[in-house]
Amino acid sequence: MPLPGPDPGNPHPKPGHPRVGFLKNFITRPNIVVGDHTYYDDPDGPERFQDRNVLYHYEDIGDRLVIGRFCAIASGATFLMNGANHALSGVSTYPFLIFAEWEAPMPEFSIRGDTVVGNDVWIGWQAAVMPGVTIGDGAIVASRAVVTKDVRPYAIVAGNPAVEVRRRFDDATVAELLRIAWWDWPVEKIQRNLAAITGPNPDIAALRGA
């Protein structure tokens, strides 16, 4: 019987490569949720991801970063959260209120909600994801892309601001892949069907009958 894959509870699942880590093992903040087998690859190590890569994330704002299962996140990818926003309604955007010496009324901030990354998403080197964005399952974010709006499932986006370059598969195939949702399968079932999951063309029939 084939092995059911690496233990998602192992912080460093690739022997001899301490730069690669399953992220959920390094997350201590309640406002960050990461699924099994999602990894971060950084030559400085993955241990401080939540401090170095998730920026302006303050608990009193209430927004969350939610990352799904089987995602691959490259070195330097950053998630800017709603705490980075400044009020735009007044003449000045300067945050007088954060300094106790200034007596200023509470400004109206624009809060865009949670930042959500789906399953099986690849986020490239030094890409930046802005607050409140949703990146769909199976999407690819190119290196140094700046994602300012939602990304469709199985889309490839690139640039600043990121725009869709193309879709990885046609609409019918995407719909079927989302219905199958292989990332939710038990690991034993994933192992048995890796050829269909990783093959050069989506074997929908094999996945459907798995």
Q: CATH number of the domain at 40, please.
A: 2.160.10.10
- C-alpha span between 106 and 87 (Å, rounded): 10
Q: Structure tokens of 39?
A: 């990894």
pLDDT of residue 2: 52
Q: Tell me whether the omega of the peptide bond preceding residue 46 falls within 30 degrees of 0, making it cis.
A: no
CA distance to 8, 11, 92, 97, 100, per residue, from 21 (Å): 10, 5, 42, 39, 40
Distance CA 153, CA 175 (A): 9
Residues 58 and 89 in one domain: yes
Instruction: Confirm whether 129 is domain-assigned.
Output: yes
Per-residue pLDDT of the chain (210 residues; tens, 9 = 90+): 456 789 999 999 999 999 999 999 999 999 999 999 999 999 999 999 999 999 999 998 999 999 999 999 999 999 999 999 888 888 888 888 888 778 777 777 778 999 999 999 999 999 999 999 999 999 999 999 999 999 999 999 999 999 999 999 999 999 999 999 999 999 999 999 999 999 888 888 899 887
Task: State the pLDDT at residue 3.
Answer: 61
Same structural domain, 139 and 205 = no
- In the numeric block, the tokens 């303050």 are attached to 58
Eight-class DSSP state of 147: E
Residues 141, 49, single domain; the answer is yes
* Residue range(s) defining the domain that contains residue 60: 20-168
Residue environment code for 17-56, b if the CB has 16+ CB neighbours within 10 A, otherwise e: eeebbbbbebbeeebbebbbbbbbbbeebbbebbeebbee
Mapping DSSP onto H, E and C, the string for 10-25 reads CCCCCCCCCCEEEHHH
In a domain, 7, yes or no: no
pLDDT of 8 reads 93
pTM, 2 dp? 0.92
- Angstrom distances, CA of residue 59 to CA of 30, 64, 81, 202: 9, 9, 11, 41
Please give the tally of structural domains in the chain. 2
d(CA 68, CA 64): 13
My answer on whether 135 and 204 are in the same domain is: no
Examine the domain organization and report whether 164 and 69 are in the same domain.
yes
12 is catalytic: no
Shared-domain flag, residues 26 and 59: yes
Identified catalytic residue from 12, 37, 57, 86: 86
Question: 147: which strand partners?
Answer: 129
Q: 73 - beta bridge partners? A: 40, 123
What pLDDT is recorded for position 90?
84
Residue 118 and residue 85 in one domain? yes
Q: Residue 154: its pLDDT value, please?
A: 98
Same domain, 25 and 90: yes
State CA 177 to chain mean position distance. 19
